[in-house]
Amino acid sequence: MRRSTKALAAGAAATAMAAGAAVLINNRLRQEGRLDKVRRNKFDRWFDTLDVDGNEFITEQDLLRAADRVLTARDVPVDSPMGLELRDATLQLWTDFIASGDTDEDGRVGRRELHSALAQNMLSDRIAAGAKLASVADAYFAITDADGDGLISSSEFVQLLRNWNGVDYQESHRLFEILDADHDNRISPDEWRGAIFGFFLSPARDCPANNLMGKVGTPIMVPIGSLRARGDLSDRCEAGSGRSPLVVVPSAPRNPAPPRVLDRPPGASPPVPRFRTPLAPEP
């Protein structure tokens, strides 16, 4: 009888320990699935640049439409090798990082579903996410480098952000100045990858790449045709993160570019923006 009682007590204790462990694991998983305020604001901004019809959902086609705007601005046919490469890279963003958020399988993802999907698929393993994001970054770099010199000029950068994310002229030039980490008046493949990694992966409040999709809280310039202090980038984006470093694959050295010349002719006016309603500040 005593042995039976002891066995029951031991079994109950083991069950309680297992239950406690399960609770701890579940809580840890929930914490990992949460987004910090910095990344939540950035991802909300990205969501709003994609949700051009303002229905509070984004779809695979919304991502493709953003890619097609970039192709159209460069006069690159959608069905050309370069066009297909960009569209494939854009679809990879949806497949690898967003699609799992479509839990009800209706073909679209809401704001909270995007948060959950990115936290699970992008932030749980930043090294693996960085490897996938690298191919996306390279495809957008290739289409932006209009003259094929292996670098992005200020005019090429402004055109990309205007058509891809609805960023205005002044903000695009400001970002270019900051993201050009070595101050050679061009953005290199390394600097561009660093910007993509910084936007999607960095929790640092002062990471310059936080505004890659436009400054949080400012109006979004609706692209035509749609429905509606300096410092090294990697160091600033990693400050205070306490996590594994960003993955940046170095490129071959190059000669410094000549001094920058403004790409807009003197006296020319910037394009007139069409504004959407500004994002409401987060409480």
pLDDT tens track for 132-173: 999 999 999 999 999 999 999 999 999 898 888 888 888 889
CATH class assigned to 36-238? mainly alpha
pLDDT category at 202 given cuts 50, 70, 90 is very high
pLDDT mean over 118-136: 92
Alpha helices in the chain (DSSP H): 2-32, 37-50, 60-73, 81-93, 111-118, 126-144, 154-165, 169-179, 189-201, 233-238
**Chain-wide mean pLDDT for the chain?**
75
pLDDT at 241 over 90: no
- Cβ contacts of 92-99, under 8 Å, gap ≥ 24: 92/132, 92/135, 92/136, 93/63, 93/136, 94/60, 94/63, 96/121, 96/132, 97/121, 97/122, 97/129, 97/132, 98/58, 98/63, 99/60
Nearest Cα residue to 231 out of 201, 268, 194: 194
139 or 31, greater pLDDT? 139
When pLDDT is averaged across residues 194-209 and rounded to a whole number, the result is 92
In the three-class reduction of DSSP (H, G, I as helix; E, B as strand; rest coil), residue 123 is classed as helix
Domain residues of the chain, as ranges? Answer: 36-238
Q: How far apart are the first and last CA of the chain?
A: 61
Specify the pTM.
0.68
What is the percentage of the chain residues whose pLDDT exceeds 70? 64
Residue 21 has pLDDT above 50, yes or no: no
Q: Cα separation of 151 and 161, whole Å?
A: 16
- Dist. CA 96–CA 116, nearest whole Å: 13
Asked if 152 and 144 touch (Cβ cutoff 8 Å), the reply is: yes
pLDDT of residue 16: 46
In the predicted structure, residue 191 carries a pLDDT above the cut 70 = yes
CA-nearest of 46, 67, 51 to 140 is: 67
Q: Tell me what pLDDT residue 152 has.
A: 95
Residue 120 pLDDT > 70:
yes
Checking if the pLDDT of 119 tops 60, the result is yes
pLDDT bracket for residue 208 (50, 70, 90): confident
- The DSSP bridge partners found for residue 221 are 275
Q: How many CA atoms lie within 13 A of 213 on its CB side?
A: 20
Give ∠ CA 232-220-117 in degrees, rounded to 5: 70
Q: How far is CA 44 from the centre of its chain?
A: 10
Q: Predicted confidence band at 250 (pLDDT cuts at 50, 70, 90)?
A: very low
Residue 270 carries which side chain, given as an amino acid letter? P
Task: Name the pLDDT band for 130 (thresholds 50, 70, 90).
Answer: very high
Q: What are the tens digits of pLDDT across the range 39-93?
A: 999 999 999 889 888 899 999 999 999 999 999 988 999 999 999 999 999 999 9
**Main-chain phi, psi angles of 148, to 5 degrees:** 65, 25
Mean pLDDT throughout 239-257?
39
Report the SS3 class of residue 152: strand
Q: Residues for the chain: how many in total?
A: 283
Per-residue model confidence (pLDDT) at position 232: 47
| Angstrom distance (rounded) from CA 86 to CA 18 | 48
Token code pair at residue 14: 């083991």
Q: Treating both helix axes as pointing N-terminal to C-terminal, what angle do 37-50 and 111-118 enclose, rounded to 10 degrees?
A: 130
Out of 8-22, 95-109, 169-183, pick the least confident: 8-22
